[in-house]
A and B are shown apart, each in its own frame.
Chain A
């Protein structure tokens, strides 16, 4: 048990989302966004209990191989083909506090850039030992880790010759439904990053850099797997100093 396990759960409202930091809804270079972006203004509302609360998942739901994409779909004794890597990091909130017990789900293409999905038609081969999904729940420091193979870049029908950089999709639950986040992780040094219309939906270069995981030589396991570190920041909560309303919140 953590020394902090007796701490009261946090119940404050969340910091307002900085929607200039995130991509806008309409980003025409990413063509699908044209018809799938709302055109009316969002209705702004300080979070109510419906958004301050959220589902929290127990560590018991996580299977032994859930965070090992090299083996969790492989036949016994076999493993996925590709550059073996470890992806690890911490989930923090905007105040720098670790987010404990956060469920992370990740998915990706195989080493050749091929997804295991019936809608996918790319001619690169399926890896019979690679499914492409994994999940983990953060520990008391907000830490997580998984093993996988580095995904390959992937062509897609947007512009005539658009390719996605190597990337891993992340879905994150914090403690409140307003923290719900889906994003993508990219790899340090990939020249494809700056050509990608999906990356470039994000207006601020510093925000894009927040999605690029550096090679973490220190955590690389000799003769086994290199490591990349990807920290994730979820919305912070206000302290509850003045949140105790007489009416109840």
Chain B
């Protein structure tokens, strides 16, 4: 016999279901008066440092049909590459930037959309710089465990080319599934849950 590890098992995930808005964005689904506003709707204020951008995207299923009942959450560094988190030990992040946003996919046009700032570079575990990116997490009816991926930027081709995570994608044509296309200050990325254009999802 050996000693026991005494580790607990993680609580298993379950789908967020079709009525996830009741809990996460109650004002969006007309449950008013319980909370002042929906969490994660505003990431920036007038003092936030950095380049203002809009990041948006749609989520499509294996039949290329819009997923209109999803919730997208993003998590990103500030313009200097620092996270607004107690676990950030490299410095103090911009206090005028939350780094976290939450948005339901729109019931009509299917878009999630965030008014945010372009994140700075943050280091990979071995110190190499990662290209500017936003962590994206998606839940919805039919998704048993939340899907993690990243949003990179089409105007950061040089940084993307040496990004340690993107370099690990064996099938190189799939890299573009994580790169949002720039049009002015708007970056757009469609997330494909399944099929030939399937987004690279992460086990992190």
A181 at the interface (CB under 8 A from B): yes
A residues less than 8 Å from B137 (CB atoms): 177, 180
Given A54-B87, A95-B7: A180 in contact with B146 (beta carbons within 8 A): yes
Interface band, chain A? 35 or more
Report A81-112 CB contacts with B as 1/0, cut-off 8 Å: 00000000000111110000000011100000
| B95 close to A (CB within 8 Å) | no
Q: Is A117 a contact of B122 with CB atoms below 8 Å?
A: no
Residues of B within 8 A of A140 (CB): none
Complex contact A119–B18 (CB within 8 A) = yes
Q: Is A51 in contact with chain B by the CB < 8 A criterion?
A: yes
* Cα A180 to Cα B100 with chains together (Å): 12
Q: Nearest Cβ distance between residue B175 and chain A, in whole angstroms?
A: 11
Q: Which of B20-28, B44-52, B154-162 faces chain A? A: B20-28
Centre residue among B12, B19, B148 by max chain A CB count within 10 A? B12
B97-140 contacts to A (CB < 8 Å): 98-100, 122-127, 130, 133, 135, 137, 139-140
Are A210 and B26 closer than 8 Å at their CB atoms? no
The 8 Å CB contact of B11, one of A47, A177, A232, is: A232
Interface string of A50-91 (1 = CB under 8 A from B): 111111110001010110000011000000000000000000
With A27-B144, A107-B22 given, is the CB distance from A133 to B123 under 8 Å? Answer: no
Min CB–CB distance B200 → chain A (angstroms):
5
- Chain B interface size range: 35 or more
B176 to chain A, nearest CB (A): 14
Chain A residue contacts of B142, Cβ below 8 A: 30, 32-37
Name the residue of chain B whose CB is nearest to the CB of A172. Answer: B11
Main secondary structure on A side of the interface with B: loop
Is B204 an interface position by the 8 A CB rule?
yes
Q: Does B16 contact A117, Cβ atoms closer than 8 Å?
A: no
Known: A21-B9, A119-B69, A248-B90. A37 touches B135 (CB 8 A): no
A226 interfacial by beta-carbon distance below 8 Å: no
B170-204 toward A: CB 8 Å interface, digit per residue (1/0)?
00001000000000000000000111001111111
Considering the complex, which residues of chain B in the window 65-79 have a beta carbon less than 8 Å from any beta carbon of chain A?
65, 67, 69, 73, 75-77
Residues on the A chain within 8 Å of B168, using CB: 43, 45
Residue of B nearest to A27 (CB): B144
Residues of chain A within 8 A (CB-CB) of B77 are 50
Smallest CB separation, B140 vs chain A (Å): 7
- Which A residues are CB-close (under 8 A) to B2? none
Q: Check A184 against B30 for contact (C-beta < 8 Å).
A: no
Residues on the B chain within 8 Å of A249, using CB: 89, 123, 125
Partner of A182 from B62, B146, B203 at Cβ < 8 Å: B146
- Asked if A55 and B98 sit within 8 Å, CB to CB, the answer is yes
**Structural contact, A208 and B89, CB atoms closer than 8 A:** no
- Please measure, in the bound complex, the distance between the C-alpha atom of A45 and the C-alpha atom of B20, giving whole angstroms: 28
**Secondary structure class of chain B's binding surface, majority of residues:** loop
Chain A residues within an 8 Å CB radius of B203? 16-17, 19, 42-45
Query: What residue in chain B is nearest A104 (Cβ atoms)?
Result: B23
Chain A residues with CB under 8 A of B61: 35-36
Chain A 174-205 near chain B by CB (<8 Å), digits 1 or 0: 01111011111000000000000011011000
Asked if B147 is at the interface (CB within 8 A of a chain A CB), the reply is: yes
Nearest residue in A to B29 (C-beta to C-beta)?
A117
CB-based contact A45/B89 at 8 Å: no
Minimal beta-carbon separation of A8 from chain B (angstroms) = 9
Given A115, A182, A211, which contacts B16 in the complex, CB threshold below 8 Å? A182
The CA of A133 and the CA of B99, in the complex, are separated in Å by: 24
- Asked if residues B31 and A11 are in contact (CB atoms below 8 Å), the reply is no
Question: A42 CB to closest chain B CB, in angstroms?
Answer: 4
Q: Which residues of A contact B (CB under 8 A)?
A: 9-11, 15-19, 21-25, 27, 30, 32-40, 42-57, 61, 63, 65-66, 72-73, 92-96, 105-107, 115-120, 131-135, 169, 171-172, 175-178, 180-184, 198-199, 201-202, 206-208, 210-211, 232-236, 245-249
Interface residues of B (CB under 8 A from A): 6-24, 26, 29-31, 33-36, 39, 61-63, 65, 67, 69, 73, 75-77, 83-90, 98-100, 122-127, 130, 133, 135, 137, 139-148, 150, 165, 168-169, 174, 193-195, 198-204
